[in-house]
Structure 1
């Protein structure tokens, strides 16, 4: 694979978006710091982020990152309606990159009806219009990306705003380390000639195989979902994911029947030094069991010191794997034609 091979297939420029992701994170932090914030959060007892696709993924990653730092529940809602408990004491974060996501607009209207306190994150569209109409807090982010490629804008402004509101404590050191790490990794992961380009090596192993991704619950549960979604959307290829310890109570038993199919499965364990020691032990044991049946089992370890840097090291690794797998599959990673087809059919009804 050469850079010319990539350019021929990557007509929409996903390569450049990935290489420059550290700059996106820097800009996203700037937006989160500089956006005027006038939201009253006194007395809120729950946070509900409502969104779909890449917008909801930003919420899931934020929820997981803050899971042991917050004293109130933080839920992610992927539905037209909000949970029944949402009321005046709920902070509803409306996250829609385009601002025109059908389900999210419906949930936004539900939040208005219930008089919840609302924080909107969007690049424009109906979400921005509703926020302005109802004088709600809006954090506006740049347009022009695919939602899944705008993860920096869908995560960091919310982290910054929540810290400015006093809901969570600031994490400037972790943010600085994350940006440094992403910048350093981009030099390696973007170099197709580098022997240290581990995402490219893994993409080669995944070609023609069925990826199965296992991640630990807690801080890292959403990262397996991110890998799965990125492989599906970028590489146009099915992938599956689950979390430990839950998979060791059910899915593990399924690794028995269908030997021929299992030999087509490439298993990836997303690992981190900070996970619960019993989960780490389960990872080791289940890995040994699954290795008897799968084509191959790969451990991908997080990198960095802070939790934030370690999380984004795994996310960034997976994004590059999905990109290179798309190129190997001779698929432009950006277009998602079947989703546009679905939206077109829905618009007729």
Structure 2
């Protein structure tokens, strides 16, 4: 994990009780349990389609329900013989057809983009699997006689159910024989996350998450990850900063950012920003050289930077350890500013305005 930073200014005794009224820290700490339970449920999804002749895998979902697709693509996309594509919108790519497995995820089951994607996939004859805690997606799958993986409904928000949502495509693809058996890797990763949760939580002895939140100090995070497992982790840090931390943020990927973004960090630009670089043992050998050279150049702009290193012994462990740290950091960021990380008033207001 990362070296500790200064204490989070607002994390006085009783701050968690005062401001984490939605219980986000406990939900973040349940990631290992969710992954373990979600994988077991997904591998047991009834009436899955045949995998014979599958030529592509398409995972559809929005927001917190869509991040599971990014996780799956980061873990398995580089090694599978068929392409893995993640879509976040109403439409499907032109290649989607009878030889495409389409996994449509919506935690509520009512996300309009995901329902539209499901309908399009059915119309094209794709091999569809629906994933939700209920809602319209569950009803449609039942009416169409298609497989539906029902998620637990005790988690209040999609972003807090990442373990279930990420385990869904992993377990489904495993059951179909599209990926190597993942049971041992899932259990190893879940155990790692259980340990991390104890260390990074409010009563834990590892200061990494609280220290990083204090170091950020309300600045706008710029999160970099190397292509592969750190790409999905960087995206998760960005979106959790938005939803938990109530702050703008962005995520970029190495080596692509070395061909454009770095020019934007001219002298004097870096002050309101803080750079976090997510590292893992599976990086391309040239990435390490790029990180060192890039940071040396950008420090002249006043951009403050920290590197965060993954834990674990497999890509799944690396990815989820980076995700869990980010989930804790963004939650502590909110609490340190006296903000409950759980409610999402702006997103909720937008949904109300868009209701037909």
Q: TM-score normalized by structure 1?
A: 0.95
Q: 2:237 aligns with which of 197, 210, 227?
A: 227
2:327 maps to what in 1?
319
Tell whether the 8 Å contact from 1:269 to 1:298 is kept in structure 2 after alignment: yes
SS of 1:291's equivalent in the other structure is: helix
Q: Detail structure 1 runs of 4+ shifted over 4 Å in the superposition.
A: none
Are residues 164 and 3 of structure 1, via their aligned partners in 2, closer, same or farther at CA, if it must alter by over 3 Å? Answer: farther
SS of 1:292's equivalent in the other structure is: helix
Structure 1 CA distance for aligned equivalents of residues 275 and 48 of structure 2: 47
1:43 maps to what in 2?
53
Structure 2 CA distance for aligned equivalents of residues 244 and 282 of structure 1: 8
2:167 maps to what in 1?
156
Tell whether the 8 Å contact from 1:2 to 1:192 is kept in structure 2 after alignment: no
Q: Which runs of 5+ in 2 are unaligned?
A: 1-10
2:348 maps to what in 1?
340
Q: 2:188 aligns with which of 153, 177, 192?
A: 177
Matched, 1:147 2:158: yes
SS of 1:339's equivalent in the other structure is: helix
Are residues 3 and 121 of structure 1, via their aligned partners in 2, closer, same or farther at CA, if it must alter by over 3 Å? Answer: farther
1:216 maps to what in 2?
226
Structure 2 CA distance for aligned equivalents of residues 235 and 347 of structure 1: 26
Number of residue pairs aligned between Structure 1 and Structure 2: 345
Alignment of 1:6-45 (within 5 A): 6-45=16-55
Structure 1 CA distance for aligned equivalents of residues 141 and 117 of structure 2: 13
Farther off after superposition, 283-292 or 336-345: 283-292
Tell whether the 8 Å contact from 2:15 to 2:336 is kept in structure 1 after alignment: no
Matched, 1:92 2:102: yes
Structure 2 CA distance for aligned equivalents of residues 131 and 181 of structure 1: 35
Tell whether the 8 Å contact from 1:67 to 1:219 is kept in structure 2 after alignment: no
Are residues 154 and 294 of structure 1, via their aligned partners in 2, closer, same or farther at CA, if it must alter by over 3 Å? Answer: farther
2:83 maps to what in 1?
73
- Alignment RMSD (CA, Å): 1.5
Question: What is the CA deviation profile of residues 92-116 of structure 1, one whole-angstrom value per residue up to 9, with x for unaligned ones?
Answer: 1111111000111111111111111
Structure 2 CA distance for aligned equivalents of residues 26 and 50 of structure 1: 22
Q: Which runs of 5+ in 1 are unaligned?
A: none
Structure 1 CA distance for aligned equivalents of residues 174 and 50 of structure 2: 14
Matched, 1:280 2:288: yes
Tell whether the 8 Å contact from 2:32 to 2:190 is kept in structure 1 after alignment: yes
Alignment of 1:254-333 (within 5 A): 254-256=264-266, 259=268, 261-333=269-341
1:280 Cα offset (Å): 1.8
